[in-house]
Chains A and B, each alone.
Chain A
Amino acid sequence: MELQLGLALPPPPLIPIETFDLNSYGNYETREALGSNALSWPLLKLGPADNDINNIHHHNSSSSSSSSSSGGGAGCKKRSFDEAPFFDEKRNVPKTLHLLLWTNQPNDEDDDPSNVLHENSSSAIFKNDGEGLVGWPPVKTWRKKVHHQIPNGGAENNRLPKVENGIGGRASKSTYVKVKMEGVPIARKIDLSVHHSFEGLTNTLMRMFGISDGNPKIFKLTYQDREGDWLLAEDVPWRTFIRSLKCLKLIRSRG
């Protein structure tokens, strides 16, 4: 009885899902003595991953990690295939259409598209003209608009930001800059909009990094401008400083 069932699909348990043909692949079923779904991976064991699988990646630049994934591809694949436990032998696998027999042969290197991916990957990732990944992190566009309208002086809970016509059109840039202190591994962030002079800024920085008032001359305030040059803050007027600085660094003054 053939029914025109364009819209109603058989629910999976009633009709066997067509999977690919395991016949060509049967050599590998007996490799692991598994009759159930138990994996040989100790799932809850923490610590270093299984060392027989060459999957220790280092958190490096994306181009190097993609090269390690495709370069080591053939070798990795062979081993992980051997180690991986396979399907339940009792599983029902009907004849099906497969367009490619799944074999254990390493990729035919001649036309391995993953090689092409390697060439492309760096360019693919920075397609957005070096502005970063397209669509990553996965935050919806309209949320981005919300985030970019963080009002000035938002850090101060007691301060009420001025409301301009009640319409949330204060699309101001963030006024926080990074501050590093020499010898301290962790950088901090400081809100520049609440400071109006070097004195005020320096006082805040001293407090932030726990430097006592006793020896204010020990540290010098330097900054990196938009061109990437490092300059002494005290050498320029406040307005110039504010307009051109990208980040700050406190260095110990010598002599």
Chain B
Amino acid sequence: MQKEMAYSFPDEVLKHVFSFIQSDKDRNAVSLVCKSWYEIERWCRRKVFIGNCYAVSPRMVIRRFPEVRSIELKGKPHFADFNLVPDGWGGYVLQWIAEMAGAYPWLGEIRLKRMVVTDESLELIAKSFKNFKVLVLFSCEGFSTDGLAAIAASCKNLRELDLRESEVDDLSGHWLAQFPETCTSLVSLNISCLGSDEVSFSALERLVDRCPNLRSLQLNRAVTLDKIANILRRAPQLVDFGTGNYAAELQPDVFSNLAGAFSSCKELKSLSGFWDVVPAYLPALYSICPRLTSLNLSYATIQSPDLIKLVSHCPRLQRLLFLIQVLDYVEDSGLEELASSCKDLQELRVFPSDPFGVEPNVSLTEQGLVAVSLGCPKLQSVLYFCRRMSNAALVTIAQNCPNLTRFRLCIIEPKTPDYLTLDPLDAGFGAIVEHCKDLRRLSLSGLLTDHVFEYIGTYGKKLEMLSVAFAGDSDLGLHHVLSGCESLRKLEIRDCPFGDKALLANAAKLETMRSLWMSSCAVSFGACKLLGQKMPKLNVEVIDETEPPDSRPESYPVDKLYIYKSVAGPRFDMPPFVWSMDEAVKILH
């Protein structure tokens, strides 16, 4: 019996249909349908996201997707943010740029996170891509203002230059002046990470002047308050603005100038910056507060009623980052005020003002978060530092906010129990995972036993990222997570008594995840070797800065372990303190 495919579309039709499919997940699904769809899809994929730059090699990406215009790469593990990944670990972008320079002449967008970007890489970008539009360096390092000068000078149609949270070597403030007079295309510029001398203000003013489409501008701390009005008057179309230093002696003319400049920005919805904020200048913002949806006050190191008053003027606030500084015995966090004013709040991040200092007399308590959970039912994303918590509070929060997708709680002192009952906080976090059915990201803290992991394994079916520290009793805890969390992609663990058993029993699970980080746990060198030998699709890397892991008995626990799936095999740029457990690679080097 002959089956005829009565309906085979010409490739062009399929290509056109696929062009409407933007999400990576959907594109991946499309590519699985049949061989011809795979072929068509790969030729028309324009955007590639690579969550771990070592999971695949540049050559493999280029071979499969020949016509890419936009690439996003992530390098170091998340715990690098907290100094747990030694310098020199890796995450170099140069080889990627070099290979793409030849293969993707039309590459227009590069977004990097936690990668090492050298001036050489930036110069190569500037030289190689004639249509370069977007450069985002999120939490990157390794480059200087020389590299930025190369980008500014060569990229004629640059739309976005975003250096948020990156570490930049300050060599000269004149790189901004390298933007040619013909460059009028800037839409977004974020230089908030730069230090004192790395920006020429007059060049900045001229740049802002000639870019009518500038929508997002984040200044750095060196820009003083009196200059803000100048900038705003040149760019009243701004939607997202980050001030520099927000401190000055109170002068009526400066104040009114500033207030006037802000009020002329009719589209302004998002504010950040506010270094060294002087409360007397906050009322200058009142005219735009009713429109504000996002407010980042996490650099504002003065807690005051004025700051709280500011928030109460912002009924449409959806996103708030806040620095809490408890000065005296009375806890005046302002979160109660927030809960009553900002009913649309979706994201809240509360940072401690003195996380490493002497423990204050009055702790940051759970009360603020409970108040917000009661008053803000749309809450989806929480990052909250505090010094005490209770199961009762967590249960209340869970019941009030079933829509939580991200919940990160950091109780500052490790292994702190429920302050009311002295119990572990298992039940509280259990309530979170049980009630918040869409929870994708969770960070745990406080005193926790294996039970909390059982709850997580049972209820955390949509959980994609889990961060664990100083928790659990035994391998059973890890086993619950690895065997129960079906959607788990990233797991990062530090200082927990998890050993070999759970890891080896769930070895295959690791192939379905992006990565696993374990530091200061109890995984033996022998187990790492076994994993490396038996699991060819995984890269198993042991990090030890003191001595080679094989100089000790095999049962000895490794210091740090990073396991990730990869089709590229072991990497070639490992520093001396990283050992690959792959059989093909010499362990001693």
Q: Which residues in A have some Cβ–Cβ distance to B below 8 Å?
A: 1, 3-12, 17-20, 37, 39, 41, 43-49, 53, 55-59, 62, 65-66, 69-70, 72-73, 76-77, 80-81, 84, 87, 96-102, 107, 111-114, 116-117, 120-121, 124-125, 132-144, 146-147, 149-151, 154-155, 157, 160-161, 163, 166-170, 174, 178, 186-189
Contacts and interface: CB of A to CB of B under 8 A. Distances in A.
A146 B301 contact: yes
A174 B354 contact: yes
B353 interface: yes
Contact of A17 (B25, B502, B504, B512): B512
B521 interface: yes
Nearest to A50: B451
Contacts of A12: 486-487, 512
A142 B194 CA distance: 11
Contacts of B101: none
Contacts of B83: 134-135, 141
Contact of A77 (B25, B455, B474): B474
Given A69-B497, A97-B508, A140-B81, A46 B486 contact: no
Contact of A161 (B276, B304, B469, B534): B276
Contacts of A166: 222, 224-226, 245, 247-248
Contact of B497 (A57, A96, A114, A168): A114
Contacts of B301: 146-147, 149-151, 154
B570 interface: no
B225 to A, nearest CB: 8
A76 B473 contact: yes
Contacts, number: 312
Contact of A99 (B248, B395, B522, B534): B534
6 contacts: A70-B497, A116-B555, A151-B302, A160-B247, A160-B278, A163-B249
B28 A8 contact: yes
Contacts of A65: 415
Interface string B424-442: 1011001100100000000
A228 to B, nearest CB: 15
Contacts of A157: 279, 302, 304-306
Given A7-B56, A102-B479, A124 B495 contact: yes
A3 B415 contact: no
B524 A113 contact: yes
A171 B45 CA distance: 49
A19 B509 contact: yes
A41 B430 contact: yes
A84 B454 contact: yes
B170 to A, nearest CB: 13
B255 interface: no
B500 A100 contact: yes
Nearest 6 pairs between A and B by C-beta?
A135-B82, A100-B504, A166-B224, A8-B28, A117-B522, A18-B508
Nearest to B501: A100
A210 to B, nearest CB: 12
B40 interface: no
Contact of B504 (A53, A77, A80, A99): A99
Nearest to B514: A9
Interface of B: 25, 28-29, 31-32, 34-35, 38, 48, 56, 60-61, 64, 79, 81-84, 165, 167, 193, 196, 221-222, 224-226, 245, 247-250, 275-276, 278-280, 298-299, 301-302, 304-306, 325, 327-329, 351-358, 360-361, 385, 391-392, 395, 410, 412, 414-417, 421-424, 426-427, 430-431, 434, 443, 447, 449-451, 454-455, 458, 467, 469-470, 472-476, 479, 483, 486-487, 494-495, 497, 499-502, 504-509, 511-512, 520-524, 527, 530-531, 534-535, 555-557, 567
Nearest to A179: B361
B355 A147 contact: yes
Nearest to B555: A111
A11 B486 CA distance: 10
A134 B519 CA distance: 11
Contacts of A121: 495, 520
Contacts of B250: 160
A145 B509 CA distance: 39
A155 B330 CA distance: 13
A46 B427 contact: yes
Given A5-B32, A137-B385, A141-B83, 9 more contacts: A7-B61, A17-B486, A20-B483, A41-B430, A57-B415, A98-B507, A102-B479, A117-B521, A188-B361
B84 A134 contact: yes
Contacts of A43: 427, 430-431, 434, 455
B431 A44 contact: yes
A47 B64 CA distance: 57
A7 B28 contact: yes
A144 B323 CA distance: 12
Contacts of B392: 46
Contacts of B426: 49
B305 A142 contact: no
B31 A5 contact: yes
B352 A96 contact: no
Contacts of B450: 55, 76, 80
Nearest to A98: B505
B423 A3 contact: no
Contacts of B487: 12
Contact of A133 (B414, B483, B506, B567): B414
Contacts of A161: 247, 276, 278
Nearest to B533: A99
Contacts of B486: 12, 17
A125 B508 contact: no
Contact of A137 (B221, B410, B509): B410
Nearest to B483: A19
A209 to B, nearest CB: 11
A55 B424 contact: yes
A172 B506 CA distance: 50
Contacts of B351: 139, 143
B361 A20 contact: no
Contacts of B509: 17-20
